Structure 1
Amino acid sequence: MSRLLRAEWTKLRTAPGTGWLLAAVVLVTAGVGAAVAAALADPPYDVARTALAGIVAGQAVVAILAVVSVGGEYGTGMIRTTLTAMPRRGGVLAAKAVLLCGLTLAAGSVAVLGSLAAARLLLPGGEALSLADGPVLRAAAGSVLYLALAGLLSLGVAVAVRDPAVAAGTVLGLLYLPALLTFLVRDAGWQRLLYRVSPMNAGLTVQVTEPAGLPLGPWEGLAVLAVWAAGALGAGGLLLRRRDA
């Protein structure tokens, strides 16, 4: 496994867009969060969730990072060289997942800390934001995990689809369309169902400091996103083993 990790790390580290995309995760997430914080007037609102609103935008950059990390290899044909040198296809996917997850956790941590710092300065009531507070800590840590799981979901889709543009469109559709439908559907039963199965709505429940009355608890919601990510990686891994590069 160490050989696979070294090889995948070399490819990821030397890819021209990796550093820029990781920086964009931080800047977009913290920037959008700061803009939302600056635009709001006095409460009531969930201070922690508002401070971390940039996660909704930052996940799109994470998705692009995951798609590019795989799609570039298929686009150039380098995937054939990779699988010839390292025929354990499941191991190759696992190495990609470990590295993507690690980089996303690192960038996501910086982005979340930046978002909280900006909200403390700009958001009315932001002085209440403290990682010593249990719900705020859960919202912050859960947001970092959310970005990592969104990255793994994107990686699985990218491996299954192979075409970067189609993979990016598929991932963004999975993340944003069910969440949008939740607001468009009038029926309360359908709204509840869509909320429970939507990877974004369910996953971001972890940010809510007082989740009473929501269809899912904070960690249950994050588990829904984890199931989506596991399903995408499982499908991608199966297709990677069964078809030619």
Structure 2
Amino acid sequence: MTTPTVTPYRSPLPPARDGFPQLLHAEWTKLRTVRRWGFALLATVLVTMAVSVLSAFSGGSDVKGDRPPPPVGPAGAVVSDSFPFVHQTLTGDGSITARVSPLGGREGRPAEAWAKAGVVIKESTKPGSSYAAVMVTPGHGVRLQSDFTQDTAGGAVSRDRPHWLRLTRSGDEFTAYESADGSTWTKVGTTRLAGLPDTAQAGLFVATPGETMVQRQFGSTSVGGRPARVTAAFDQVTVDGGGGTWRQDVVGAVVGANGDPKGTPDSSTEKSGTWTLTGSGDVAPHTPEVDITQQSLSGAQIGLIPLVALSVLFITAEYRRGMILTTLTASPRRGRVLAAKAVVLAGVAFVAGLVAALLSFLVSEPELRDRMPNPLFYPDMALTDGPVLRAVVGTALLLAAVAVLALAVGALLRNTAAAVTLVVVVLVLPLVLLSGLPIGAAHWVMRLTPLAGFAVQRTLPEYEHVDTVCLPEEGCYPQGPWSGISMLCAWAIVLLGLAMWRLRRRDA
């Protein structure tokens, strides 16, 4: 008897594939086919723009009339350049040496930490002109500074003993030295001033930033200040290569009708070879009080709310409708399912955030700048400027990280209302409460919580040799932009890892 041949059944359908690209396609299909989720993405863009634009058009001074232009440094940035200057002409290579007394403040009080007195070789008496200077400061020792932004630290100085300083020029190279006794010299550092004319001005100067007073109570902060004054005496002054007589000027002073400085307490007097200078200005880069780029992107703080709701629903809706069973049956590797959701969400959130940030900056930044009391003190920022581009793209990255964090919280809690509330409270409520905390505690919150991610929007430069008051309610973050966004990303990655771990060990 012949055994019949049995042909195995073969389905006409192609074999199923559950690789990661297929998971990404499936999750993208889910996201784009739910209309209200698309509306949530659109709301993220519109709310971010609306809040930023309303902030731009509702604030500011809107001052009219002529406003004097500020001094501009060699790099084209606004600077502070005002101080009493006793000087003579230095042609070609040479040096200037002086012994500087301890600095004294106003009415016998200690001088400010960044008050300065020293010797300088400067292109001219014009505010903003190129210079190199070596100086003593009460709080930061000896410093070599040049062209407002360059700063090199030297040794410590005594608060009750004079200190010797020397600055030498050799072509475009300037070298600073210090000495405690005038015989044993230590090199502080070297700097270059390309293009400085052969003829420059070598002399003595003093300067000090203003006094700043901060009073902080729950719900309110008061920042006040007044001009400071510093006095120092210089003796045993020698100029190698100098010529002519000593001239006394006040750089950056407003000149009255008689040609004398108007309304300034700066002065310089000489007696028996000792010069005594009193000054109230400063020589430093100018730091704007308001970060216009950051303000133009402030709408992201509210625009993230609909994005958080979408991200949470992207996982909790499947639990509520029982669709998660189908998803996990089709792809049993649960961790990859959540990873695919995170990648898709992060991608669409990044694109939506980039569109929102671009439009917010382009519309809000010009208006914010025009409404400053003196717009000339604020640079006209372009999208191609490095800090601006970082802030705009960083805002998109910020929203992408928030989306992943919200997805992870939704997967952990599996409850839409609880997850949305928790994420919004963590990201938005601290922005309201920070003004009620001591500055130290507020800074710790801004460093260690997901709120740190907003630091990526800050574009104001920070200089070690410029004291600033970092107030949380003004959007000042104690860490750098990249460390801030890294902290938010770390929170998102850790929570996503916990959500994957829980998903593998708990029934759907």
What TM-score, normalized to structure 2? 0.46
Alignment of 1:171-190 (within 5 A): 171-186=423-438, 188-190=439-441
Distance across 2 between alignment mates of 1:223 and 1:28: 25
Alignment of 1:69-148 (within 5 A): 69-125=314-370, 128-148=380-400
Gaps of 5+ in 1: none
Letter of the structure 1 residue corresponding to residue 296 of structure 2: A
CA drift of 1:24 comes to 0.6
Instruction: Describe the SS at the equivalent of 1:129.
Output: coil
Alignment of 1:56-71 (within 5 A): 56-71=301-316
CA contact (8 A) 1:129 1:136 kept: yes
Letter of the structure 2 residue corresponding to residue 93 of structure 1: L
Residue deviations 1:29-86, cap 9 Å, x none? 0111000011111484211001001010111121111011111111111111111111
Q: 2:492 matched to 1:229? A: yes
Partner of 1:23: 42
CA drift of 1:130 comes to 1.2
Partner of 2:296: 51
Letter of the structure 2 residue corresponding to residue 235 of structure 1: L
CA drift of 1:120 comes to 3.9
CA contact (8 A) 2:293 2:365 kept: no
Distance across 2 between alignment mates of 1:20 and 1:57: 16
Greater helix proportion: 1
Residue deviations 1:160-187, cap 9 Å, x none? 111111110111122123443432213x
When structure 1 is superposed on structure 2, of 36-45 and 232-241 the one drifting more is: 36-45
Partner of 2:453: 203
Distance across 2 between alignment mates of 1:135 and 1:88: 42
CA drift of 1:211 comes to 5.7
Instruction: Describe the SS at the equivalent of 1:130.
Output: coil
**Higher Cα Rg: structure 1 or 2?**
2
Gaps of 5+ in 2: 1-19, 62-287, 372-378, 463-469, 471-476
Distance across 1 between alignment mates of 2:502 and 2:297: 36
Partner of 1:194: 445
Partner of 2:58: 39
Letter of the structure 2 residue corresponding to residue 134 of structure 1: G
RMSD: 1.7
Letter of the structure 2 residue corresponding to residue 92 of structure 1: V
Q: Per chain length, whose mean CA-contact separation is higher, i.e. which structure has more relative contact order (CA < 8 Å, sep 6+)?
A: 1
Distance across 2 between alignment mates of 1:120 and 1:178: 26
Residue deviations 1:105-127, cap 9 Å, x none? 11111101110121145323498
Which of 475, 481, 491 matches 1:218?
481
CA drift of 1:92 comes to 0.4
CA contact (8 A) 1:205 1:211 kept: no
Distance across 2 between alignment mates of 1:71 and 1:176: 22
